[in-house]
Homo-oligomer: A and B are copies of this chain.
Amino acid sequence: MKRPIQLLIADDIRTQIESGALPPGAALPAIHELAERWSCSVGSARTAITLLREQGLISGGRGKPLMVRTQHRRAIRDSARHQLEKDLVRRPLEERAPVGTSELETGTSIHSVKFDCTYDVIRATTNIADRFKIPAGAKVLRRMYQTTDPDTGSWLARSVSHIPVELIRSNPDLMDASNEPWPGGTQHQLSTVGIEIARIVDEVTAQMPTTVDRQRWDLEGGVPLLRNLRTSIDTAGRVVELSDATYPADRTLLRFTTPLQPWSQ
């Protein structure tokens, strides 16, 4: 049961971080010092640092000193918004207008962001078709939303939405990307073709970003991506929209409120 040096070093530093001996923002000892202190090669000490970075505990490097990572402020994405959007559907345009495109506000940033949105019509994959209970290959509208930081070009939020074309054929405006951002969001869009959403199911998992994901999102090491698959079901029980959103886990908190029926008397 002998553990490699790298783990010993990494765990020692982690313990110091957790105990508060190394507070967030504190500089770590230089790598060659670590190597000396543990009498190992600098390569092994460096590996320990790499491990800690993958655990999301430290940042820096590249000329800048290594330091204990500071926590990001987390943008809250609240499921209460679903009801909020629904309440606005029957309200006049002036009230709806400020409520922009569904789930894509970044929450944290005050300075301007670049908002992109692409519409196209594709053939449903078997996966998508199964969820909608439509034949595979049927036409679906795919909408890709994306907010980017205009300075760095890195993604801030991103989601892909699918809607069967059959459901919205009666209102061509819904297939036109130039109408975005649509005042009141997706629920109002669907209301124009007589669709009322009865409930929304959010399914959440997390996964590690690939190297290209890391670049696009401008992520530090050790930051997972949260994935939220949202299924909107209308009053007739049909699945009418699927949305697949991705958020960086270090800046995001997903909040879901479950109201409970009162005890029967």
Q: Which residues of chain A have a CB within 8 Å of any CB of chain B?
A: 7, 10-11, 14, 51, 54-57, 74, 79, 82-83, 86-87, 89-90, 196-212, 222-224, 226, 235, 249-250, 252-264
Contact = CB atoms under 8 A, between A and B. Distances in A.
A195 to B, nearest CB: 11
Contacts of A55: 208-211
Given A205-B74, A209-B55, A211-B11, A260 B197 contact: yes
A90 B264 CA distance: 9
Contacts of A252: 205
* Max count, chain B CB within 10 A of own CB: residue among A86, A224, A258, A264: A258
A262 B249 contact: no
* Max count, chain B CB within 10 A of own CB: residue among A14, A55, A89, A250: A55
A235 B223 CA distance: 38
Q: What is the oligomeric copy number? A: 2
A55 B201 CA distance: 27
A79 B83 CA distance: 17
Given A74-B205, A197-B260, 17 more contacts: A11-B210, A51-B211, A54-B208, A57-B210, A79-B258, A83-B258, A86-B263, A87-B261, A196-B263, A198-B260, A200-B257, A200-B258, A201-B256, A202-B255, A202-B258, A203-B253, A207-B250
A260 B208 contact: no
A162 to B, nearest CB: 19
A83 B260 contact: yes
Nearest to A200: B258
A253 B211 CA distance: 24
Contacts of A51: 211
A207 B224 contact: yes
* Max count, chain B CB within 10 A of own CB: residue among A208, A235, A253, A261: A208
8 contacts: A54-B208, A55-B208, A55-B209, A74-B205, A199-B258, A201-B258, A202-B257, A206-B224
A28 B82 CA distance: 45
A201 B200 CA distance: 16
Contact of A226 (B199, B204, B262): B204
